[in-house]
Structure 1
Amino acid sequence: MDTKWLLDFVALAEERHFSRAAARRHVTQPAFGRRIQALEAAVGTPLVERGTSPVTLTGAGRQFHALARGLLAQLDEGLELVRGEENALETPIRVAAPHALASRLLLDLLQAGAGGCRTAVEVMRVDEAAEALLDGRIDFVLGFDVMALMAPPYRHLALGDGHFLLVSAPGSAGKPCFDPRVSSVPYLRYSADAYGARLIARHNADAGLQLAPVFETSMCQLLAEMALRGQGVAWLPDALIEHELAAGRLAAVAPGILRIPYQVRLYRSPARQGEAAERMWASLEARLAGNWRLLAPWRAQLADADPA
């Protein structure tokens, strides 16, 4: 198998057009097509769906794309080591996370696992992150329960769990200034396509609450900022607002009752990653085996049912 075939295939997977990929690789389109066919013959299975525009990869093609990127990254690292270059092993660990987890939690993860290695972080929607992982454009996805990635051949580490809590700015005596169990209150809600909206719907968490929507977004951080400004109540993951809860800048409404469990996982493809990414995965596996957790539920008030 020729290394240039791997470079050709990665270019095709990224460009999604034979003509653009051929131009990027500085070869004619017929020659480029023959090289892709030679690669498929060497692999022993079709990697590209013919007749689609833009080009799409087969299931095997998606897996091979991740493998090809990993092999090329390892080759680059090895060549840098042989040459004695100072930046050897500097291929960054590529991590994607949704807005809800692109916070202190993500930084804590990188500090615990990356060991000072270069990292590149992409903030994207969960479905986009899953697609990027499937395509081999990133090494890891930090996310909630991503069903498409929880089944083999993909692998994941359970990093910890927590709760979405219904919170508002505090009123008198530190209690929430809004209580939708008692009267209608302004509701800061997720867009319908956001993970938070799907989670709330799955648990029917809004049932019995008097909520009047006044603001909508897919971004947890904006909901948190609106809640901090006293604009209403919002369901927010405790990992995002832990410090605000501890400082009394946000107050949870009946946290012993109004809470939705979630888990945070780190996902990866089955293909071997670059050396730095593999070390990070192994380091996190070892820490988890020793009962380390990246996060745990915010428990300061969970025993208090906070009756109206």
Structure 2
Amino acid sequence: MDIIWLRDFEALVAQRNFSRAAEERNVSQPAFSRRIRALEDEVGVKLINRQTLPLSLTPAGEVFLEQARIMLRTYQDTLERCQTIDAASGDVIRFATSQALYMTHYKTHIAPLVEQRGLDIDLNSTSWGADQFVSALQQNYCDVILTYWHPAMDFLAPLEVAGCDYITLSHDEFIPVSKCDEGGAPLFSLENPGKKPIPLLAYGAVSALRFVLDHTLNQNISKPNLLVMNRNALAISVKGLIAEGFGMGWLPRSLCQKELDSGTLCIAGPDSYRSALEIRLYRLDTNTKKTLGALWDKLQDSVDGAVAKS
């Protein structure tokens, strides 16, 4: 089975239209249709109900979609891990982090030390699911993970049970935000909700921030009337949809501070809807890589120095 067929199938499910899906996949519609039929021939059943508008999945197609996504995720994960292993040597420090943390805390807190010491870094800024970061560290596919931490993130518990070392690099805040109207007020607000449900741009099942959002909402006695418009694994994608005015959502403050300062985005709720975040670095305590040990000590010193100054 060609991996391209799986990506074609996923695009067709998203678009529900052969022409738009073919355009997304950068192929002619006849060629795209032939590849979908080749996939169905390979599976041995019809996956697409072509008699409905928009197109729909057959019962077998619904089952195959779930498995196709698992296969694609496994395939991508395998490629990334193979590339990481190939790049690794005794001197290279293998980092894994999310795109949001790469753009904020890695560049601010870690990159300057890496450049100062002339270290070789294999940085995997990835869209892995939350639990994949944990398994990657435990299985030595990376040396360090840079992650958000919150008490609700149960998936990180195995690292603490296993006695991993961690450094609390800095702190952040998980806040409700919305696009601002022309008067500088939020388009959507938890304080002035109105009668209609507030459109919510939420996080998907594989996102670490989903746990924090669920906790933040559950700790409030009066639940807001929210209607989930979209679920996404990446905070950067959620931010983009908020900025376009599709709804409100929660973001780490560091990821949207510039937009808050410029008045593009607004705080969209009271303090009770905010949650504190830690930004942590984890490593296995059995990792004896000298370059990692030197960087770890330097990072610990910088954190201790910042605490002492405050």
Same fold (TM over 0.5): yes
Specify the SS of the correspondent of 2:183: helix
Equivalent in the alignment of 1:201 = 214
Deviation at 1:254, TM superposition (A): 2.9
Specify the SS of the correspondent of 1:173: coil
Equivalent in the alignment of 2:205 = 192
Deviation digits for residues 13-59 of structure 1 (CA, Å, limit 9, x no counterpart): xxxxxxxxxxxxxxxxxxxxxxxxxxxxxxxxxxxxxxxxxxxxxxx
Deviation digits for residues 190-244 of structure 1 (CA, Å, limit 9, x no counterpart): 1134222211222315752121111111111110000111111011111211222
1:165 to 168, 175, 191: 175
Of structures 1 and 2, the larger Rg is shown by 1
Task: Write the distance in 1 (CA, Å) between the matches of 2:93 and 2:205.
Answer: 32
Task: Write the distance in 2 (CA, Å) between the matches of 1:280 and 1:125.
Answer: 26
Equivalent in the alignment of 2:64 = none
Equivalent in the alignment of 1:110 = 110
Instruction: Find out whether 1:177 has 2:177 as its counterpart.
Output: no
Q: TM-score, normalised by structure 1?
A: 0.62
Task: Write the distance in 2 (CA, Å) between the matches of 1:109 and 1:273.
Answer: 23
**Unaligned regions of 5+ residues in structure 2, if any?**
1-84, 150-155
Equivalent in the alignment of 1:238 = 253
Aligned residue runs from structure 1 range 19-34, under 5 A = none
Contact 1:164 1:260 in 2 (8 A): yes
Relative to structure 1, the CA distance from residue 193 to residue 125 in structure 2 (aligned partners, 3 Å threshold; closer, same or farther) is closer
Instruction: Find out whether 1:155 has 2:159 as its counterpart.
Output: no
Instruction: Find out whether 1:139 has 2:143 as its counterpart.
Output: yes
- Kindly, what percent of the aligned residue pairs are identical? 21
Equivalent in the alignment of 2:273 = 258
Q: TM-score, normalised by structure 2?
A: 0.61
Higher helix share: 2
1:213 to 208, 228, 234: 228
Superposition CA RMSD, Å: 2.4
- Once superposed, which parts of structure 1, at least 4 consecutive aligned residues long, lie more than 6 Å away? none
Contact 2:129 2:206 in 1 (8 A): no
Deviation at 1:286, TM superposition (A): 0.8
Contact 1:73 1:274 in 2 (8 A): no
Aligned residue runs from structure 1 range 25-44, under 5 A = none
Relative to structure 1, the CA distance from residue 205 to residue 231 in structure 2 (aligned partners, 3 Å threshold; closer, same or farther) is farther
Task: Write the distance in 2 (CA, Å) between the matches of 1:92 and 1:195.
Answer: 27
Deviation at 1:152, TM superposition (A): 4.5
Task: Write the distance in 1 (CA, Å) between the matches of 2:184 and 2:163.
Answer: 48
Deviation at 1:117, TM superposition (A): 1.8
Aligned residues: 208
